[in-house]
Structure 1
Amino acid sequence: MNHIRLSLNGLWPVVVLLATALLSGCSSVNRVNPGEAATTNAVPRFEPQPSRLNPSSYSVLGRTYHVLGSNDGYDAQGVASWYGPNFQSKPTSSGERYNMYAMTAAHKTLRIPSYVLVTNMENGKQVVVRVNDRGPFVSNRIIDLSYAAAKKIGMIGRGTAMVDVRSITPDSPIPTSQTIVSGAPTLPAEPVASAPAISAAASLPHAVWGQDVFIQVGAFGEMGHVISVQQRLAQAGITAVSVTPFGALNRVRVGPVASLADYDRLMDQLRTIGFDNAQMVVEQ
């Protein structure tokens, strides 16, 4: 899996490192000391988000990414990866040195620094991380976790996991795994004053390829747009398409997606035919 780290010393972007790791993720475990990894969540706090770290857009490997104007309300699902020994002590996009044993992460479009709750949709494990880097610039990966964060949610061995990524602030309630999966209202909680505790879920999510994973192509108010999208998908040979009403909108989805390999193939194909905003949706 290829990763690129960006440095923002007055220029955006300057590529300072290109490293290649095993396809199963950055899993050079023989160069890792698990005992050094943090086990407690990052503690959200309000921090300045200077414009030099958050340009309106930037380009890497021929693709342009648009940094969010605000992280408020960000909640997305996708495939997480992790990065480790090959990047240890290298500069991150924020200028800080990467520490694979800290609870940090890289994201392509969230404003930095910031904090997110990451839920492993396959086992219900959760972690709060501080986003201080840009990436991953591998296609179809939503977030790059530090070794410590990946270890906490149980994704080291395979190198990837289906995750929900939700922006949080110091006064955000921390939703449980069940809340994220079911879409149930989040119960009130005390403001976060220390490393946020995450409840052990009584009934953990267990997302399964071929059953729970879909790709949402878009949501459209007019049926004419829906029909047009269906036709474009059919012309590309994508036939497992469903249309689901959602309020005044109609959600067009592909799936269920059988495997990670099929997900990558479909996402690449959708991007090729112009659906750049397609994203994973896990339904249980």
Structure 2
Amino acid sequence: MYKSLSLILFLLFLAACSTTPSVRPPNDNELPKGDQGGAQKVGKPYKIAGKWYYPKEDPTYDEVGLASWYGRQFHGRKTANGEVYNMNSLTAAHKTLPLPSFVKVTNLANGRSIVLRVNDRGPFIDSRIIDVSRRGAQLLGFQKQGVTRVRVQASDANGNVVNPLPTRQYAEAPDDAEVTHFVQIGSFSKKSSADEQARMVLRAGETPKIYETIIDGRKLWRVRIGPLLSRNLAQEILDRLVGRGFYETRIFTEQKR
């Protein structure tokens, strides 16, 4: 009897040792930090639909092209490096960048920028250079249209890039002599919400102002930095704020009055 009990306990011990620990998906709105059991790798060359792709380290990666997004059909599945895809977290798929790595993605249609963690492969359509999570598409402002023109730059987790050339050279931007620029962190229907947002931005080291405006008969309070005479300066401020977690920050360019 005692021998049988010992054998059962031994077998249970072996089963426990061989069980793979559960891997949690990243939390919603989270920029994953590598605590999900995924592997770090550059990856070997691979072939998809007759075309070869060659992963490599590229700390100065800087490319303009189309971004798309992927969502529910992949939600909960493992990514190319073994992490768990959560369509509501801040991740992306790229054909050749190391897994994982971080990229700063800027929507050239509206100036919004966010930082994403590359932990998957794709998209395998020639004109597209990156697939972002659904949450990434929401923050970049192109979820409804599905595809948009973006600039993708290799970065660290705070959005710092090796060669931070101004984004405006890739977008149609008016002459700075004719316009003024604002970095907008948020727009609120309640002044108390705008006040709280302004305090958070102030704690992050920037100096915002609250602008009251009326749009379509509704009174709104905008938390902004500006007016700024230089688009480059506005871009630098936006980059700092995105790196500190203000992912919905964007640049507004308006005609001088």
Q: TM-score range by the shorter chain?
A: 0.5 to 0.7
Which of the residues 117, 135, 151 maps onto 1:148?
135
| Partners of 2:115 and 2:158 within 8 A in 1 | no
Q: Deviations over 1:26-60 (max 9, x none)?
A: xxxxxxxxxx952x7x3779xxx967x32241111
Q: Report the Cα offset of residue 74 of structure 1.
A: 0.7
Which of the residues 29, 40, 46 maps onto 1:58?
46
Q: Report the Cα offset of residue 106 of structure 1.
A: 0.2
| Partners of 1:172 and 1:191 within 8 A in 2 | no
Mapped to 2, the partners of 1:118 and 1:167 lie a distance apart of 9
Which of the residues 110, 121, 124 maps onto 1:137?
124
| Partners of 1:44 and 1:169 within 8 A in 2 | no
| Partners of 2:105 and 2:152 within 8 A in 1 | yes
Match of 1:125 in 2: 112
Q: What amino acid maps onto 2:59 in structure 1?
A: D
**Counterpart of 1:203 in 2: which secondary structure?**
strand
Equivalence map 1:229-240=2 (5 Å): none
Any unmatched runs of 5+ in structure 1? 1-35, 205-284
Match of 1:110 in 2: 97
Mapped to 1, the partners of 2:58 and 2:246 lie a distance apart of 19
Equivalence map 1:179-218=2 (5 Å): 179-182=166-169, 194-195=244-245, 200-203=250-253
Q: What amino acid maps onto 1:81 in structure 2?
A: S
Which of the residues 75, 87, 109 maps onto 2:74?
87
**Counterpart of 2:59 in 1: which secondary structure?**
coil
Q: What amino acid maps onto 2:50 in structure 1?
A: G
Q: CA RMSD for the aligned pairs?
A: 3.8
Equivalence map 1:166-177=2 (5 Å): 166-170=153-157, 173=160
TM-score normalized with structure 2 length: 0.53
Cα distance, 1:171–1:87 mapped onto 2, change above 3 Å:
closer
Q: Report the Cα offset of residue 178 of structure 1.
A: 9.8
TM-score normalized with structure 1 length: 0.48
**Counterpart of 2:135 in 1: which secondary structure?**
helix
Cα distance, 1:133–1:201 mapped onto 2, change above 3 Å:
same
| Partners of 1:79 and 1:140 within 8 A in 2 | yes
Any unmatched runs of 5+ in structure 2? 1-26, 171-231
Q: What amino acid maps onto 1:87 in structure 2?
A: F
Q: Deviations over 1:166-186 (max 9, x none)?
A: 1111475479x9931237598
| Partners of 1:174 and 1:196 within 8 A in 2 | no
Cα distance, 1:192–1:143 mapped onto 2, change above 3 Å:
closer
